[in-house]
């Protein structure tokens, strides 16, 4: 099963994470189990309650997590509290340095921003709370209208469901368009392939 | 918080359930926490492993679950084994009788079919394994081309991401279109509102 090309996707969980921010991308990665191994990581191992209630088990703590090739950082109401969690921010710094890609969904980009990982880089976030997220990283080149933004190893996506589109685009980049298209068909998902597609920036009067 | 109008959504978990089948709908219900209370139920309480790996905690067992107003039955590779699980099938029968709506995503409709709950009714399922699902309920009026199908209290949807569209439609029905539209915008999700929209039936040569 585990070919030398299989990448480990490190899903970072924290209290009150947003469900679809995590499980949309994991559904897409999960369509190619020969290529992506999914692991869950939190400050402490064990159950982590989502913003919506259901709890997901973190297999690893920050101290014993294996090498993570792709980081997945969700948003959610819990983001606000984690902005002042030095353990989480230093874990993101250390692991982004060693990762091939560091991705986020929704307000997850506020955590990368606070950790300084987006300074001087282009990035996006949830459109409903965009102004607040932007305040967390004054040196970031925030892009208001985008489904997702890639700058070097940092890939940040817009709110909630945007994580699915970002992940399919990353799968296309790493494993080829045919496998990404197949994953989208298996998910019966109408994939937005254009990173610039973003009606929600207009709805929230950001542009 | 808990108004008399709040409905309880009973999420049925079983080993190897499909992640997005569960968490797409729960993300949508979770946008209206004053109207929908989410609970997780499995044969035994405790961690239940998804098809993709990550484990979700079931709060209740079949024996101690509270009244469930809306049932949510996911599909996934684990469906096949549950078709021969009399405890699950009798739980679905008993709780569908008491529910206002019984919904499914993907191959979840095979479980309702095997429990006899779809006999004589119109229903749909995942388009990649449609023939196999249809065999589980010869007396069901299977609809090959549909994003979701409503027949009385039974609402069945197509593969994986279709559960999100079905759930937003049910929210519109129960709480009004403005709240459903707001939920979709908060999710930054381009909702397919037409139950007949289904390009995947054609891709899998069902029509």
Local structure of A27: helix, strand or coil: helix
Q: Over the stretch A79-112, which tens digit does the pLDDT of each residue have?
A: 999 999 999 999 999 999 999 999 999 999 999 9
User: Between A and B, how many CB-CB pairs are < 8 A?
Assistant: 117
Identify the pLDDT of residue B5: 82
Q: Would you say residue B104 has pLDDT above 60?
A: yes
Instruction: Name which of B84, B138, B136, B146 is nearest B107 in CA terms.
Output: B136
Q: What is the pLDDT along chain A (207 residues), one digit of tens a residue?
A: 444 589 999 999 999 999 999 999 999 999 999 999 999 999 999 999 999 999 999 999 999 999 999 999 999 999 999 999 999 999 999 999 999 999 999 999 999 999 999 999 999 999 999 999 999 999 999 999 999 999 999 999 999 999 999 999 999 999 999 999 999 999 999 999 999 999 999 999 999
Helix, coil or strand: residue B155: strand
Range A108-119 burial, b when 16+ CB lie within 10 A, else e: bbbbbbbbebbe
- The full length of chain B comes to 207
Q: Does the structure show a pLDDT above 60 at B82?
A: yes
Backbone φ and ψ of B65, nearest 5°: -65, 140
Residue A173, number of CB atoms within 10 A of its CB: 13
- Whether B186 and A22 lie within 8 Å, measured CB to CB: no
pLDDT tops 50 at residue B115: yes
- pLDDT tens, residue by residue, B18-64: 999 999 999 999 999 999 999 999 999 999 999 999 999 999 999 99
Contact check, Cβ <8 Å, B20/A27: yes
For tokens 């609402």, the residue is B155
Neighbouring CB atoms inside 10 A of A37's CB total 17
The pTM for the full model equals 0.96
Is the per-residue pLDDT at B2 higher than 90?
no
Q: How far apart are CA A97 and CA A90, in angstroms?
A: 11
Assess whether A34 carries a catalytic annotation: no
**Mean pLDDT value of segment B102-113:** 98
Angstrom distance (rounded) from CA B153 to CA B101: 5
A188 CB near a chain B CB, below 8 Å?
Answer: yes
Please tell me the predicted confidence (pLDDT) of residue A3.
47
Cβ pair A54:B40 closer than 8 A = yes
Hey, what are B207's tokens?
Answer: 């029509």
Residues of B in contact with A158 (CB under 8 A): 188
pLDDT digits over A30-39, tens only? Answer: 999 999 999 9
pLDDT of residue B151: 98
Residue A109 near chain B (CB below 8 Å) = no
pLDDT in tens, A176-192: 999 999 999 999 999 99
- For residue B25, give the nearest of A191, A27, A46, A36 by alpha carbon: A27
Residues B132 and B76: their CA atoms lie apart, in Å, by 13
Are B190 and A203 within 8 A, CB to CB?
A: no
Give how far B52 is from chain A: nearest CA, Å: 5
Question: Is ipTM > 0.90 here?
Answer: yes
Cβ of residue A46 closer than 8 Å to a chain B Cβ: no
CB contacts under 8 A, B 2-41 vs A, are 11, 18-20, 22-24, 26-27, 29-30, 33, 38-40
């Amino acid at each position: 099963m585990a070919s030398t090309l299989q990448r480990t996707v490190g899903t970072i969980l924290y209290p009150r994470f947003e469900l679809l921010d995590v499980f949309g991308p994991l559904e897409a990665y999960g369509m190619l189990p020969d290529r992506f191994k999914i692991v869950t990581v939190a400050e402490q191992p064990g159950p982590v309650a989502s913003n919506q209630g259901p709890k997901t088990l973190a297999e690893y703590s920050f101290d014993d997590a294996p090498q993570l090739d792709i980081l997945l950082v969700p948003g959610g109401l819990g983001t606000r509290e984690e902005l002042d969690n030095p353990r989480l921010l230093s874990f993101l710094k250390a692991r982004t340095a060693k990762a091939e890609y560091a991705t986020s969904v929704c307000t997850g980009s506020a955590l990368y921003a606070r950790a300084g990982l987006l300074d001087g880089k282009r990035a996006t976030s949830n459109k409903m709370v965009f102004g607040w997220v932007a305040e967390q990283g004054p040196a970031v080149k925030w892009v208001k209208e985008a489904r997702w933004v890639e700058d070097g190893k940092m890939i940040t996506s817009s709110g909630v469901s945007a994580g699915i589109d970002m992940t399919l685009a990353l799968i296309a980049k790493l494993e080829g368009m045919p496998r990404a298209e197949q994953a989208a068909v298996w998910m019966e998902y109408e994939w937005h392939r254009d990173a610039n597609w973003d009606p929600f920036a207009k709805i929230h009067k950001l542009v």
